[in-house]
Amino acid sequence: MKRILKWAGIVVGSLLVLGFFSFLYFIPPFDFIPPEEFTRQTVGAAPSLDNITNPVERAIAERGKYIVTTLDCSGCHTPAGDEGPNWSQYLGGGSKSSFVGYQTYISRNLTPDKENGLGRRTDEEVKRVLRSGLLPEGRLAHYRDMPWAFTANLTDEDRHAVVVYLRHLKPVARRITDPMANETFADTTAAEMLYTLDYGIRQEKK
């Protein structure tokens, strides 16, 4: 009797362990979710522009939406959630990246929020960042963190369209901390590091 119980315990135990491993194996989604689902989420997060009454502004904002979506600004500027990006805070900022010898940057809040987002910046200030990486406070952004060297290649008209579109996002009240001193690299041979998870999580713990 004891022997049977012992064996049953071992079997149940190993099944539990195996089950836990396979549970782990089959969660995050990347290999198991069809590509169309990723696309649906990425594109679906962008707001509809149908309620803009001025037809000129709507046409320009549509072009801006196309650029912002296909350039994947949200890859860095949308915070990560439990499963992939947290789309309810679309372009709310908060991921972290750094380059050897430079500061660690937290991606900024791009929504028109008056206190934390681009609501407090003029069009010229936003365009200046897209063109030359010079941030509104007079500091330069590293071109590997904020790839301004590529948005500099957009025509002035396309950059204008991006700014017009960003003005029509849903405001997200999310404070982004200032850049911080470079942290020690886990891997000293690497040139650049990126934190994949939402920096907001760590921020809230502090």
Partner 1 sequence: MINLHRRSLATAVPLFGLALWALAAPQKSEREAPQAALGKSLYEANCAYCHGKEGKGDGPPAAILNPRPRDLSRGKFKFRSTESGSIPTDRDLENTITNGLQGTSMPDWKPFLRGDSLKAVIEYVKSFSVKFKNEKPKLVPLGAPTPATPSSIAAGKRVSEKLQCGKCHGDDGKGTGAIASDLKDEWGHETKATNLTEPWSFRGGTTARDLFLRFRTGIDGTPMPSYKGTASDGDMWNLANYVLSLGRKPVWSMNEQEVKEFYSKQSDFVRTKPVDWGKYLVNAWGCVYCHSPIRSDGSIVEEMRFTGGQRWNMYPFADVVSYNLTSHKETGLGDWTNEQLRTFLTKGVRRDGSRMVPFPMPWAAYASMKDDDLNAIIAFLRTLQPVYNKIPNPAKPNIFSYLWGKFRVLILKQDVTWHVYSGNAGQTKEKSLSENAIPAHTPKEVQP
Residues that bind partner 1 (CB under 8 A): 21, 24-25, 27-28, 30-31, 35-36, 38-39, 41-43, 55-56, 59-60, 63, 66, 69-72, 74-75, 82, 99-101, 128, 131-134, 138, 140, 142-144, 147-158, 160-161, 185-187, 189-197, 199, 201-202
Task: Count CB-CB contacts under 10 A for residue 62.
Answer: 16
Taking each helix axis as running N to C, give the angle between helix 55-70 and helix 156-166, from 0 to 180 degrees, rounded to the nearest 10: 100
Comparison of 144 and 175: residue with beta carbon closer to partner 1: 144
At its nearest, how many Å lie between partner 1 and the CB of residue 2? 33
Comparison of 170 and 202: residue with beta carbon closer to partner 1: 202
Q: Which residue has the tokens 């929020």?
A: 113
At its nearest, how many Å lie between partner 1 and the CB of residue 52? 12
Comparison of 69 and 112: residue with beta carbon closer to partner 1: 69
At its nearest, how many Å lie between partner 1 and the CB of residue 1? 36
- With a CB cutoff of 8 Å and minimum separation 6, the contacts of 25 are none
At its nearest, how many Å lie between partner 1 and the CB of residue 151? 7
At its nearest, how many Å lie between partner 1 and the CB of residue 8? 26
Comparison of 116 and 151: residue with beta carbon closer to partner 1: 151
At its nearest, how many Å lie between partner 1 and the CB of residue 122? 10
Comparison of 49 and 59: residue with beta carbon closer to partner 1: 59
Q: Is 46 helix (H, G, I), strand (E, B) or coil?
A: coil
Give me the phi and psi of 96, to 5 degrees please. -115, 140
DSSP, res 32? T
Comparison of 31 and 50: residue with beta carbon closer to partner 1: 31
Residue 97: in which H helix or E strand, if any? strand 96-99
Long-range contacts of 39-43 (CB under 8 A, 24+ apart): 41/84, 41/85, 41/87, 42/69, 42/72, 42/74, 43/69
Q: Are 95 and 174 in contact (CB under 8 A)?
A: no
Task: Count CB-CB contacts under 10 A for residue 165.
Answer: 24
